[in-house]
């Protein structure tokens, strides 16, 4: 701000004195930060994104800290203290002054957690009672009470209406625990594919299922210890992976040959059975380290109800029974040997996933659906009661997410495009690597061993 004013005044003076060269130079300097960010955004998008996040968070933190003294006075969050002052004639007198309650601010680009020390004479309930006023004063769209230590009250003030604001997918590839959106409180929604569970995503047409799956799967691009495989009647979602040619026989695209799709599930069951045998022989109870030869298998079944219909149309109930039983086995037995099933559909009713299988999908996402019944089926009666009246009105990308150990919350998925997804997946192709596009530049953590080392390093 100060920078802009100084430059503006200097440019004006130069203009008045007809120093045209200086005017041009000053204009360039003025544009410099923007230009630098543009170039940096092209050269190092991830670092640039991190910088932007840090910068926005810093701005929010500074604004909150600046507002606090006045706010604490207006809302009576602090205490009166006295100071002795000496007048010219040597007489001492006590002067009253205001000491705002001590506050720590931890900001992100969308919110700030204010941890307030309860001042003398007040209780934590007094401060909580003023939470809404504090939020209103700071211009927050919502305020939530969050856990804090004794003698402290922590309030999360949210400055961005997350559900109404789409954010671009950061296009981080080579990530096995991608962030795919934000909870309504601004917290990241992260799905860790290493968690031994399966995931189901449902939503009506144009509710944002495909866009969400681009983020869920695109992040896995470039990982040599992950295989994205499965059955995709549309051919759009798995097509880019099929083009890589890494796992022929484990991907079926299109509806021309649904027998082939059933074969793919059959091969996957064989791989799973082989792993179970090896697991028994090794005496371990689960496989949790994955390699190029033994990758984490992400088995996608796009448009499950449609795929089942196509199977039945082509091969009758017998072929459908084979399809169902193989998918059912992958879901029931795969989690402990590194199989993760991702099913997508407009409505995952009892006909497409039976009740026994459903309990294995402890990661579930529902985008816009026409009835609360869909929420009850995939999540729980409680979730249906909470969100049933609004689930038909969610805009594309808005929905509820249930993750293991994290309960159910409203969220908004990050926005991606098919071009972005295809480009991300292509990155992992050996052909691109030969053309001099090193995957490692875009995907620093290509193997889970690296992630484990990162985690260990971070903890040390
Ligand atoms: N997270 C999102 N934020 C904003 N707009 C979105 C989001 N997800 C989807 N959309 C919009 O909705 C359209 C339909 O999304 P899509 O994923 O194709 O739906 P579906 O696969 O459920 O039919 C997209 O073209 C996009 O314009
Ligand atoms: Mg779609």
Ligand 2 centroid – CA 208 distance (Å)? 7
Ligand 1, atom 7: closest residue by C-alpha: 397
Look at residues 137, 160, 183 and tell me which one is the last residue of a structural domain: 160
| Residue at 8 is within a domain | no
Q: Are residues 222 and 300 in the same domain?
A: yes
Interatomic CA distance for residues 386 and 335, integer angstroms: 30
Cα–Cα distance list, 367 to 163, 184, 187, 349 (Å): 12, 14, 18, 15
Same domain, 54 and 100: yes
Ligand 1 pocket, Cβ-based, cut-off 6 angstroms: 166, 203, 205-211, 396-397, 413, 415
* Same-domain check for residues 440 and 294: yes
Does residue 358 fall inside a structural domain? yes
Annotated binding site for ATP: 203-210
Q: For position 18, what pLDDT does the model report?
A: 79
In sequence order, the 6+-apart residues with CB closer than 8 A to the CB of 40 are 47, 48, 51
Q: How many domains does one find in the chain?
A: 2
CATH of residue 323: 3.40.50.300
CATH number of the structural domain spanning residue 142: 3.30.980
How far, in Å, CA of 391 to CA of 166, rounded?
A: 18
Of 107, 132, 160, the domain-final residue:
160
The residues whose Cβ lies within 5 A of ligand 2, an ion, are: 209-210
CA–centroid distance, 381 to ligand 2, in Å, is 26
Task: Give yes or no: residues 174 and 153 share one domain.
Answer: no
Phi and psi torsions of 83, nearest 5°: -130, 140
Question: 287 and 417 share a domain?
Answer: yes
Same domain, 129 and 273: no
Predicted confidence at residue 337, as pLDDT, reads 95
Residue 408 to residue 188: CA distance in whole angstroms: 13
Question: From the CA of 225, how far away is ligand 1's center (Å)?
Answer: 29
State the pLDDT at residue 346: 95
CA-based nearest residue to 200, from 52, 400, 371, 425? 400
Of 354, 238, 344, 336, nearest to 296 by C-alpha is 336
Q: What is the largest CA-CA distance in the chain?
A: 106
Same domain, 143 and 257: no
Task: Tell whether 143 is covered by a domain.
Answer: yes
Q: How many CA atoms lie less than 13 Å away from 423 in the CB half-sphere?
A: 9
Beta bridge partners of 398: 412
CA of 207 to the centre of ligand 1 (A): 6
Is residue 261 domain-resident?
A: yes
Confidence at residue 446, expressed as pLDDT on a 0 to 100 scale = 41
Residues forming the annotated binding site?
Answer: 203-210
CA of 243 to the centre of ligand 2 (A): 20
Last residue of a domain, one of 110, 138, 160: 160
**Phi-psi group of 371: left, alpha or beta (phi > 0 → left; psi -120 to 50 → alpha; rest → beta):** beta
318 part of a folded domain: yes
Q: Report which bound ligand comes closest to the CA of 165.
A: 1
98 and 190, same structural domain? no
- Tell me whether residue 4 is in a domain: no
What is the domain range of residue 81? 50-160
Averages of pLDDT over each 10 residues, the chain, 460 residues: 75 81 82 83 79 89 96 94 88 91 92 94 94 94 89 92 85 87 85 95 96 95 91 96 91 95 97 94 88 93 95 96 95 95 91 81 96 93 94 96 92 94 78 42 39 38
25 located within any domain: no
Provide CB contacts within 8 A for 87, sequence distance 6+.
93
Atom of ligand 1 nearest to the CA of 204: 22
Task: Please give the pLDDT value at position 447.
Answer: 42
Whose C-alpha lies nearest to ligand 1, atom 5? Answer: 396
Q: Tell me what pLDDT residue 436 has.
A: 40
Pocket test for ligand 1, best of 206, 348, 420 (most atoms within 8 A of CB): 206
Give the Å distances, CA to CA, from 425 to 238, 394, 422.
10, 29, 5
Q: Which residues contact 322 (CB under 8 A, 6 or more apart)?
A: 262, 266, 315
- If one residue of 204, 368, 397, 414 were mutated to test the ligand 1 pocket, choosing by the most ligand atoms within 8 A of its CB, it would be 397
Structure token digits, residue 55: 């910068």
Do residues 134 and 211 both lie within one domain?
no
How high is the pLDDT of residue 24? 83
Of all protein residues, the one whose alpha carbon is nearest to atom 27 of ligand 1 is: 396
Pick the residue whose CA is nearest to atom 14 on ligand 1. 206
At 110 the pLDDT is: 83
The residue to mutate among 203, 208, 401, having the most atoms of ligand 1 within 8 angstroms of its beta carbon, is 208
Nearest CA to ligand 1 atom 11: 396
Tokens 């402890």 belong to residue: 362
Considering the domain architecture, whether residues 362 and 340 belong to the same structural domain is answered as yes
Q: Measured in angstroms, how far is the CA atom of residue 453 from the centroid of ligand 1?
A: 36
Has residue 277 been placed in a domain? yes
CA proximity to 416, closest of 218, 240, 233, 237: 218
From the list 80, 144, 150, the residue with the least C-alpha distance to 118 is 150
Ligand 1, atom 2, residue with closest C-alpha: 397
Query: How close is the Cα of 137 to the center of ligand 2, in Å?
Result: 42
| Same domain for 239 and 363 | yes
Return the ligand 1 atom nearest residue 214 CA: 17
Q: Do residues 156 and 178 both lie within one domain?
A: no
């Amino acid at each position: 701000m100060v920078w802009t004013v100084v430059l503006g005044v200097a440019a004006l003076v130069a203009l008045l004195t007809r120093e045209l060269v200086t005017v041009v130079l000053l204009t360039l300097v003025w544009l410099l930060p923007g230009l630098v960010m543009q170039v940096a955004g092209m050269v190092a998008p991830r670092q640039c994104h991190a910088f932007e996040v840090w910068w926005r968070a810093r701005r929010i933190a500074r604004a909150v800290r600046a507002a606090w003294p006045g706010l604490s006075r207006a809302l009576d969050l602090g205490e009166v203290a006295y100071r002795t002052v000496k007048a010219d004639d040597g007489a001492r007198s006590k002067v009253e002054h205001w000491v705002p309650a001590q506050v720590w601010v931890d900001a992100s680009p969308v919110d700030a957690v204010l941890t307030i020390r309860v001042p003398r004479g007040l209780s934590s309930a007094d401060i909580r009672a003023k939470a809404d006023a504090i939020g209103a004063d700071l211009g927050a769209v919502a305020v939530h009470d969050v856990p804090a230590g004794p003698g402290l009250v922590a309030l999360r003030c949210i400055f961005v209406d997350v559900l109404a604001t789409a954010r671009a997918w950061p296009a981080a590839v080579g990530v096995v625990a991608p962030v795919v959106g934000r909870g309504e409180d601004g917290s990241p929604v992260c799905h860790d594919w290493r968690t031994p569970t399966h995931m189901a995503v449902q939503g009506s047409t144009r509710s944002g299922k495909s866009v969400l799956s681009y983020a869920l799967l695109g992040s896995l691009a470039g990982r040599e210890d992950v295989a994205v495989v499965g059955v995709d009647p549309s051919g759009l979602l798995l097509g880019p992976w099929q083009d890589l040619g890494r796992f022929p026989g484990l991907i079926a695209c299109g509806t021309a040959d649904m027998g082939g799709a059933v074969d793919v599930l059959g091969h996957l069951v064989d791989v799973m059975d082989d792993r179970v045998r090896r697991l028994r022989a090794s005496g371990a109870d689960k496989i949790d380290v994955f390699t190029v030869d033994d990758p984490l298998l992400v088995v996608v079944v796009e448009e499950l109800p449609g795929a089942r219909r196509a199977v039945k149309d082509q091969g009758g109930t017998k072929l459908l029974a084979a399809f169902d039983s193989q998918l059912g086995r992958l879901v029931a037995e795969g989690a402990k040997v590194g199989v993760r099933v991702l099913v997508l559909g407009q409505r995952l009713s009892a006909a497409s996933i039976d009740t026994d299988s459903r309990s294995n999908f402890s990661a579930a996402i529902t985008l816009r659906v026409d009835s609360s019944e869909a929420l009850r089926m995939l999540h729980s009666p409680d979730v249906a009661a909470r969100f049933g009246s609004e689930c038909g009105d969610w805009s594309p990308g808005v929905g509820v997410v249930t993750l293991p150990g994290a309960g159910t919350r409203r969220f908004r998925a990050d926005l991606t495009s098919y071009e972005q997804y295809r480009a991300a997946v292509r990155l992992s192709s050996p052909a691109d690597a030969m053309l001099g596009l090193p995957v490692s530049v875009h995907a620093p953590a290509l193997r889970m061993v690296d992630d484990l080392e990162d985690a260990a390093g971070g903890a040390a």
